[in-house]
Structure 1
């Protein structure tokens, strides 16, 4: 072998003196040898290539993200418009709007697809932002291709004209036809909201803001689809699709307040069969009771909070003393059975504001011989004027009966296209708590749970604390027609155990005109000469589930309360007397249950006029 043509031959071991063998000295390779330089250069080139690839990937993702952002922005506007059109029942322009949304969503999804996005999702620091952008585009694209077309095709359900009777009958078959698409759309929106809700991590601020906006949009859209899904499920059986159903309707009078609104002044019986609703019977509420004993056993808590003599279970006019509508419905149903021997399939509430909604758009109402009232003035007439014009309670009952008959007669006479305003007005009355529904069918009640029609006494809904602010009239006058209510609730601190500290300020104002008090009839303003024109009431404030009321203050001073319990709820009871023109304001300090981090929900007794409600969840960093 030629010198230099190959590796050096191994040097044999040489015995040292004394016969011992030793290994020859090792020749060390120079640190910057050619071999090591080659490895280093290869590593540097690899790192440079990887870094370049990373830079190109991030740049590519960033460029795509900008395109996706523009497309998502357009798609977001389209979703809002599409939802508004569907809610309004304007189906003519939905096809074009949906096509634009699908194009925008598709462009956004294409811009966030490909292997570079898969890489970006795994990169430290960049991953959460890339994941959020890609997920948002996927969600919007899936909605545009599935849920929203279903929503658009079933938009006719949202049209108030569809829910209004035609010739006295609601088209239940039409509801059944759109039911599968409505339910499918609701499920798709629910899944989309869950996916976006799971996005977390440190995102770039603009992307984090976009995630929050999309969450809010999906929550709003879910409200629409969930309501529609409940409607197609609940309305047919309620309206007698599977056989006739009889319902007791408690027409409340909020001028004589009770927790749910007012005394049950008039009781109606409605029959629903095949989508047609007819009025079959009615009685003044005062004719049902009082009974010697409650028609159903009352708990000790119910007697303590609502009246030790069991008034809530002894007189139809008083079943609305309990703020738990299913309990009121059971008591009313039992009273009707005892009085007439007839069983009913459910119980509803209404009041003069709701009756006026039924008569909305139909012209003047005959309230007495040669007396006609416009529907917009009807609530004021029934809650105030009638007591001045007709002091005899029997005549008052006849007028209430006449108006109820006209309301349901007009429903039967409606033609297609005439009922949109009526349904919209009824929806607003329901949002104010003036219309509640309970069924003897537990499956129907489960579908109604959590809606404005439910009326159950609940101190938490999902993760939102529910505060109840209710009022009971102490005497039998109607002067509470002049009662105005204002409620302001705010979160003032987060507590270490996961609960929150709230402040709820309840303000009652008497607007009784001082110059008219002496001319008011006793039946309206009270028979006690010393208290004539004074509004006397009992305020009941319920803390959220698992919480408590820790104190109350008025004008900077601590005020005494009568602490009570009703089942799991902590209740503050306080009697309040209001002279004409007087205002009383009390602030309640309360603690929520644990893990109730959602927005505060206020439930307030509906009065002659809507309560003034304000809610603030802005802690501004407060904690304790």
Structure 2
């Protein structure tokens, strides 16, 4: 008889786990191997696609250059072919950097920002190729300046108006792509990627004025030239031999009538024949009158003492309407320097006086020689009028190089010698965003908007001999970290030593306004940043009594400077930039007169030198 426990009654037996552990090791190893393989594949996938994307972007660069070259030469077929190549390469680069795996990699520390930057560069390039270059090439024949030059006094506006929606859409796409690249921080990027971002950002900055000029032209020109009804354009010729803040004394005014692109010169008058009026013809703010005097709203020649071109243009338009009736739709200013550039497009123009005016002799002829030849102002006015009429006739007839004409107008805007104001609110809104607006300088939290303007007080044409240079700098000098800005303006009388007797009385002023013949009296007007404070003013090393005030929340200092032939003096003005947190500067100036006898490049802006600002006790 067997004695024992049943299976159910027997104690539980130990379970052996070792075989299980042995089974798990291969699983763990397999998981690790798979993970390594996946990481390798992940890295390899991104690495290979990064190399391929870089190749595509590099291949796109010659195509982009080819597009620009073809459009400049008028080769529409070549531009289209190059645009297709550019678009193909850019699309490939965007595709290679836009998949989910690439986006997943952007979350990896250190590596991720570089991947994100490459994707943004590729995407921006693709957007510009598809949404900017290709559409613009498609309408290039329509917007080509060669197709827009006048024929028998008429410009075909219908083609320009038809291209406007395409150009506007391209302009919007361009700025969207530019904003994407500008938003990439290069601080944590490796050198090749950071360089690529900076290069593309710089390219956007260089191209932006061209794209905006094209977009704004298609928006503005059809309406301003009478596509939707007749328009009256007042062309104001400024004479920098007698300076005003916006460029020069208003020597003559011409009314051009535009009707569906047909341009006719309807009236022309000397500036001295319009007005004056006993009271202001337009609403001039008390602050402006306090700085420049009551004549700003009463005399045409003084309307542009203020550098605020929209205000000056409004006053000029009101004066013309008061004198002649009718309506002025827009005001455009120009000067002999711009005229010299336009003459490169038209070629020499024969005048009724027997002279031939050219790009080389326009400046000395109109700013100096005419005064030596014709002592009477009526004779001078007649000469200026005949010259303007002859040049307009040649321009309107279309006898010109359209490419050079476009270059001349573009350069005139860049150098701030061309200003445009429109009485139509929608057009003025567009103009306000351009270099043509001539508004007071704008400040930002990082940069103080500074203005340096010159107004003649000699009452003569001696500014033909005035040399001027402007320099500025900013520094943080205070414990509250508010920066201060320093502006220096140096003026030189370059007239010959015997100018008082050798030059015509009309040029020297003959002492009529209390300035000895041969000397130059200039009012230097310096605007500080909006919300800022005037901290100090000097003439040379000495404090000086000035006229000061506030214009549109900007502190203003007006310093008179009188110079004998050969003499130089420097005005120094200091401001507290109360609303700024950085020492940046944005300096606007009056377009300076050319050096005596020279013909300056119309596209050159007045150079503002950078200087070190040494803090002193006044601003601390």
TM-score by length of 1: 0.86
Q: Does the CA contact (< 8 Å) of 2:244 and 2:454 recur in 1?
A: yes
1:448 pairs with 2:442: no
2:136 to 137, 143, 151: 151
CA separation of 1:453/1:156 partners in 2, compared to 1, >3 Å: closer, same or farther? farther
Aligned to 1:395: 379
Distance 1:77 1:614 in 2: 35
Matches within 5 A, 1:338-377: 338-367=322-351, 369-377=353-361
Distance 2:346 2:111 in 1: 62
1:430 to 413, 435, 440: 413
1:72 to 57, 72, 91: 57
1:536 to 476, 501, 521: 521
Distance 1:617 1:131 in 2: 39
Aligned to 1:20: none
Aligned to 2:48: 63
Distance 1:585 1:79 in 2: 48
Residues 139-182 of structure 1: CA distance to partner in whole angstroms, max 9, x if unpaired? 22233233210121233455332343222211101102222221
Report deviation, 1:543. Answer: 1.8
Distance 1:581 1:404 in 2: 34
Report deviation, 1:230. Answer: 1.1
1:383 to 363, 367, 388: 367
Distance 1:501 1:90 in 2: 52
Aligned to 1:214: 200
CA separation of 1:36/1:551 partners in 2, compared to 1, >3 Å: closer, same or farther? farther
Report deviation, 1:462. Answer: 10
Residues 463-503 of structure 1: CA distance to partner in whole angstroms, max 9, x if unpaired? 76432110000121101111122223345459897865444
Aligned to 2:166: 181
Range with greater deviation from structure 2 (102-111 or 596-605): 596-605
Aligned to 1:475: 458
Distance 1:160 1:615 in 2: 36
Matches within 5 A, 1:100-499: 100-156=85-141, 159-200=144-185, 202-307=188-293, 310-367=294-351, 369-415=353-399, 418-460=401-443, 465-493=448-476
Residues 527-567 of structure 1: CA distance to partner in whole angstroms, max 9, x if unpaired? 12972211110001112333344334566666665432112
Report deviation, 1:459. Answer: 2.1
Distance 1:495 1:55 in 2: 56
Q: Does the CA contact (< 8 Å) of 1:256 and 1:476 recur in 2?
A: yes
CA separation of 1:330/1:166 partners in 2, compared to 1, >3 Å: closer, same or farther? same
Distance 1:617 1:143 in 2: 39
SS at match of 2:234: strand
Distance 1:248 1:330 in 2: 11
Q: Does the CA contact (< 8 Å) of 2:444 and 2:580 recur in 1?
A: no
CA separation of 1:164/1:35 partners in 2, compared to 1, >3 Å: closer, same or farther? same
Residues 334-370 of structure 1: CA distance to partner in whole angstroms, max 9, x if unpaired? 2122222332222221222233444444444445533
Q: Does the CA contact (< 8 Å) of 1:354 and 1:429 recur in 2?
A: yes
Q: Rg larger in 1 or in 2? A: 1
Q: Does the CA contact (< 8 Å) of 2:131 and 2:170 recur in 1?
A: yes
1:564 to 528, 546, 549: 549
Report deviation, 1:218. Answer: 2.4
Distance 1:325 1:380 in 2: 26
Distance 1:499 1:86 in 2: 48
Residues 360-416 of structure 1: CA distance to partner in whole angstroms, max 9, x if unpaired? 44444445533333342122111111111111011111111111111211122225x
**Structure 1 runs not aligned, ≥5 long:** 12-26
Residues 228-284 of structure 1: CA distance to partner in whole angstroms, max 9, x if unpaired? 121111100100001111122221111111101111111111101111211101111
Distance 1:231 1:205 in 2: 39
Q: Does the CA contact (< 8 Å) of 2:282 and 2:297 recur in 1?
A: yes
SS at match of 1:122: coil
Q: Does the CA contact (< 8 Å) of 2:332 and 2:420 recur in 1?
A: yes
SS at match of 1:408: helix
CA-atom RMSD, angstroms?
3.5
SS at match of 2:593: coil
CA separation of 1:86/1:202 partners in 2, compared to 1, >3 Å: closer, same or farther? same
Distance 1:500 1:37 in 2: 73
Q: Does the CA contact (< 8 Å) of 2:475 and 2:583 recur in 1?
A: no
Distance 2:27 2:486 in 1: 68
SS at match of 2:179: helix
Residues 316-342 of structure 1: CA distance to partner in whole angstroms, max 9, x if unpaired? 111111111111112112212222233
SS at match of 2:303: helix
Distance 1:553 1:535 in 2: 19
SS at match of 2:361: helix
Range with greater deviation from structure 2 (200-209 or 537-546): 200-209
Distance 2:254 2:551 in 1: 30
CA separation of 1:430/1:112 partners in 2, compared to 1, >3 Å: closer, same or farther? closer
Q: Does the CA contact (< 8 Å) of 2:523 and 2:559 recur in 1?
A: yes
Distance 1:615 1:107 in 2: 45
Report deviation, 1:432. Answer: 1.9
Distance 1:223 1:40 in 2: 66
